[in-house]
Amino acid sequence: MSKINASEPQTMFDKIWQQHVVTGEPGEPQLMYVDLHLVHEVTSPQAFEGLRATHRRVRRPDKTFATMDHNVPTEDVFNVKDVIARKQMQTLQKNAAEFGVSLASVGQAEQGIIHVIGPQLGLTQPGKIIVCGDSHTSTHGAFGAIAFGIGTSEVEHVFATQTIWQQKPKTMGIHIHGQLQPGVGAKDVIMVLIGQHGFSGFTGYAIEFYGDVVENFSMAERMTLCNMVIEGGAKMGQVRPDQTTFAYLAGRKYAPKDMATAIQYWSQFYTDDPTAYDEVIDFDVSDLAPYVTWGTNPGMAIPIDRTFPEPKDVNDQKAYDYVGLKPGDSPLNIPIGFAFFGSCTNGRLEDLRKAAHVLKGQHVAPGLTALVVPGSMAIKRAAEKEGLDQIFKSAGCDWRMPGCSACLGMNPDRVPAGVHSASTSNRNFEGRQGAGSITHLASPEMVAAAAIHGHFVDIRKEAIING
Amino acid sequence: MDKFTIFTGKPAVIYRNDIDTDQIIPKQFLKNILRTGYGQSLFYDWRYQSDGRPNPAFILNQPAYQDAQILIAGTNFGSGSSREHAAWALMDFGFRVVIAESFGPIFYNNATKNGLLPIKLTKAEVKSLSQATDQDRITVDLTNLTVQFREQTFHFTFEPMYRYKFLNGLDDIDLTLAHADEIDQFEQQLPDFGAAAPGVPVKSTLHS
């Protein structure tokens, strides 16, 4: 690849973009090369069907990887009762074999949520363009990649050409600095950004997070941060690759064998100067409290120590009508009947450790259902090795097999109608976790504490965190 | 995609405004694994009664319109959800052309990706077309950009890139493959640092 010579300061995004233009002029849609195409069972069948109808093949199976996650039943992954779901899963098995695509199928050692296993297998790497027929593809930007979700026709296009037509988005730098209080983390940081800037506050932007807080974040925390940018309308989120990134990737199945050369190459991806961004936001997190959502989109969020706001428009009023809460109520009083630990936002080993730390020696509130769904088979094995499953089980939680699960309830894991769910997932839309379900998004520690008490608490005041 | 030059077909008139993609194909039909098979669910809530039986009053249930291929509608056709299934459902029923006063932008784009020709005409022209019956035939000439109905000829515009695709029967992938040499060249200089790559041997020889 050519070295970058630029007189003007460039963003990391600019540098990666520039290296991937196959053809096309700036200001117009450009044909971009795709280094990694991730695939799951829901948005791929029509794309494979299209290839078959036109006698095309997958151009680069060596840059394509598939798994099953959305429909997987987490109690018994081999017992798919939903006929349509089973058909979708069988179709992916058939398609992967026919087109030469690697598939981590249900029950297999590498299976898991696509945005969890991409990084885990070392497929996700700095400087790559990564696409997937799923909006939470933004997760992979945590490694200093350009990563975004695409539609079904585009999935077919990438299969056939390994490229995608894209108009370059505007860039935004979010400078995150200060000292996070104990019990406050990456989930709270991204939730407050969306809460303050709104459900569509970042529409169309390619965001880069930088500053000492981000530098000190682990890869799991960076992934949580980038995962949820889509909930603020952003096209994608990124973090500059550094020693933390390189150390995470070293030794993984599809990571470079020649790490020294790879690290030298990856190290060229950084933003020269914040003036290169189209827009910059400065964010001091020192006073940040844990956040929870009260309404029906992730922008409807407040700090745990505040009360629900007055409705400012008809959307807010509709949200209050749906969730059955009132302005002026405290999130501390929401009666929690369901707790969900998992998803591409918070289904990683570190997230499970944080929840287990709070739940250890405790028990969930009477009548409360708690599901723990590891993000991948590898995470499940690692968690069991360190005994996390025993902590969850002793606390009265259900320990499940990996998948998207109750984040969107495409499989049988659903929150009953009218029940308030404390959830480590990413969307609190009407009916998202099941018809009539009421979702409150929060961090793994906050959800764990809510499960114990049957209502939210300020995790900063809990002995397990501040003691 | 099939080539589209001159096409003559039977019209079906649903002369309403703001026909959104939820009305074209409701969400319960989105779990399918194919692009085909949606035709029987097209306009589901209008087409079927609550007991599931066809609503005999709806135009697409009438025997004379089973082979309709040109849909006539009002303003803002295909607004709302981005579901590509809306274009798939219209095509699966047999439609090749939708003529309307205006279109939802995402639907318009999806239609062009799938070979369904969306034609914008003026209010007066669409009003005239709304008189069409099953005895009429409408001719769409994409070479000359005209719509012929009874004694009238209407002119329309169509984005040159899209028109090229339709006239030559090319889809987006075909267009991109015109840049195949550039893609090949680009791939020559990709770094890999000795990484293992995914992929499994292809069992079928159909696509190699």
Task: State whether A229 and A207 are in the same domain.
Answer: yes
Residue in chain B nearest A157 by alpha carbon: B173
- pLDDT per residue over A187-199, tens digit each? 999 999 999 987 6
**Smallest CA–CA separation between B187 and chain A, in Å?**
9
Task: State whether A183 and A127 are in the same domain.
Answer: no
**How far does Cα A19 stand from its chain's mean position?**
26
C-alpha atoms less than 13 angstroms from C-alpha of B169 in its C-beta half-sphere = 7
Choose among A181, A180, A195, A177: nearest CA to A461: A181
Do β-strands A163-166 and A30-33 pair in parallel, antiparallel, or remain unpaired?
antiparallel
Residue A259's pLDDT is 97
CA distance B176 to B174: 5
Task: State whether A178 and A309 are in the same domain.
Answer: no
**Smallest CA–CA separation between A296 and chain B, in Å?**
18
- pLDDT per residue over A3-27, tens digit each? 455 578 999 999 999 999 999 989 8
- pLDDT per residue over B104-133, tens digit each? 877 888 899 889 999 999 999 999 999 999
Residue B79's pLDDT is 83
Pick the residue of B25, B35, B113 with the most A CBs within 10 A to test the interface with A by mutation: B35
- Residues of A within 8 A of B197 (CB-CB) are 62-63, 254
**How far does Cα A237 stand from its chain's mean position?**
11
Task: State whether A195 and A157 are in the same domain.
Answer: no
Pick the residue of A161, A410, A430 with the most B CBs within 10 A to test the interface with B by mutation: A161
Q: Taking a C-beta distance cutoff of 8 angstroms, is the pair A102, A81 a contact?
A: no
Residue A67's pLDDT is 98
- pLDDT greater than 50 at residue B208: no
**How far does Cα A109 stand from its chain's mean position?**
21
Helix (H) or strand (E) holding A252: none
Task: State whether A21 and A134 are in the same domain.
Answer: yes
Q: How many domains does chain A have?
A: 3
- Residues 6+ away with beta carbon under 8 Å from A383: A349, A352, A374, A389
Domain boundary assignment for chain B: 9-157
Choose among A342, A401, A354: nearest CA to A377: A401
Question: What phi and psi values does residue B13 have, to the nearest 5 degrees?
Answer: -105, 120
Choose among A274, A285, A214: nearest CA to A244: A214
CA distance A408 to A425: 9
Measured over the CA atoms of residue A221, residue A115, residue A157 and residue B36, the dihedral's sign is negative
Looking up tokens 């945590």, which residue turns up? A142
Q: Last residue of a domain, which of A143, A166, A189?
A: A166
> Nearest by CB to B183, which of A96, A103, A161?
A161
Mean pLDDT for chain A overall: 94
Task: State whether A327 and A428 are in the same domain.
Answer: yes
Choose among A349, A398, A354, A338: nearest CA to A375: A349
- CATH number for position A333: 3.30.499.10
Residue B87's pLDDT is 94
Category of A55 on φ-ψ map: left (φ > 0), alpha (ψ -120 to 50) or beta: left
In a domain, A129, yes or no: yes
> Nearest by CB to B33, which of A33, A87, A157?
A87
Task: State whether A393 and A269 are in the same domain.
Answer: no
Residue in chain B nearest A53 by alpha carbon: B1
SS3 assignment, position A176: strand
- pLDDT greater than 90 at residue A180: yes
Virtual torsion, Cα A420, A424, A427, A430, nearest 10 deg: -10
Task: State whether A34 and A117 are in the same domain.
Answer: yes
Residue in chain B nearest A254 by alpha carbon: B196
More confident site: A108 or B76: A108
- pLDDT greater than 80 at residue A350: yes
Terminal Cα distance for chain B, rounded: 21
Looking up tokens 């006929």, which residue turns up? A83
Of A221-225, A380-384, A406-410, B199-203, the range with the lowest mean pLDDT is: B199-203
Q: Taking a C-beta distance cutoff of 8 angstroms, is the pair A442, A424 a contact?
A: yes
- pLDDT per residue over B12-24, tens digit each? 999 998 888 888 9
Q: What is the 3-state secondary structure (H, E, C) of chain B?
A: CCCCCEEEEEEEEECCCCCEHHHHCCHHHCCCCCCCCCHHHCCHHHHECCCCCECCCCHHHCHHHCCEEEEEECCCECECCCCCHHHHHHHHHCCCEEEECCECHHHHHHHHHHCCEEEECCHHHHHHHCCCCCCCCEEEECCCCEEEECCEEEECCCCHHHHHHHHHCCCHHHHHHCCHHHHHHHHHCCCCCCCCCCCCCCCCCCCC
**How far does Cα B167 stand from its chain's mean position?**
15
Architecture of domain B9-157: Alpha-Beta Barrel (3.20)
Give residue B195's pLDDT band: very low, low, confident or very high (50, 70, 90): very high
Give me the amino acid identity at A20: H
Q: Do A46 and B171 touch (CB under 8 A)?
A: no
Residue B82's pLDDT is 67
Q: Taking a C-beta distance cutoff of 8 angstroms, is the pair B179, B42 a contact?
A: no
Give me the amino acid identity at A319: A
- pLDDT greater than 60 at residue B207: no
Percent of the residues in chain A that have a pLDDT greater than 90, as a whole number: 85
- CATH number for position A275: 3.40.1060.10
Task: State whether A25 and A157 are in the same domain.
Answer: yes
- pLDDT per residue over A81-92, tens digit each? 988 889 999 999
Give residue A1's pLDDT band: very low, low, confident or very high (50, 70, 90): very low
Residue B203's pLDDT is 61
Residue in chain A nearest B197 by alpha carbon: A62
Residue B113's pLDDT is 84
Question: What phi and psi values does residue A227 have, to the nearest 5 degrees?
Answer: -55, -45
In a domain, A408, yes or no: yes
Reported ipTM: the value is: 0.91
- pLDDT per residue over A380-424, tens digit each? 999 999 999 999 999 999 999 999 999 988 889 999 999 999 999
Residue A178's pLDDT is 98
Task: State whether A24 and A86 are in the same domain.
Answer: yes
C-alpha atoms less than 13 angstroms from C-alpha of B129 in its C-beta half-sphere = 33
In a domain, A7, yes or no: no
Looking up tokens 């030059």, which residue turns up? B5
- pLDDT per residue over A100-144, tens digit each? 999 999 999 999 999 999 999 999 999 999 999 988 999 999 999
Q: Do A62 and B206 touch (CB under 8 A)?
A: no
In a domain, A424, yes or no: yes
Choose among A443, A411, A432, A438: nearest CA to A346: A443
Host domain of residue A331: 292-466
Q: What average pLDDT score do residues A41-64 get?
A: 94
Task: State whether A115 and A71 are in the same domain.
Answer: yes
Q: What average pLDDT score do residues A282-310 get?
A: 96
Mean pLDDT for chain B overall: 91
Structure letter (DSSP) for residue A34? -
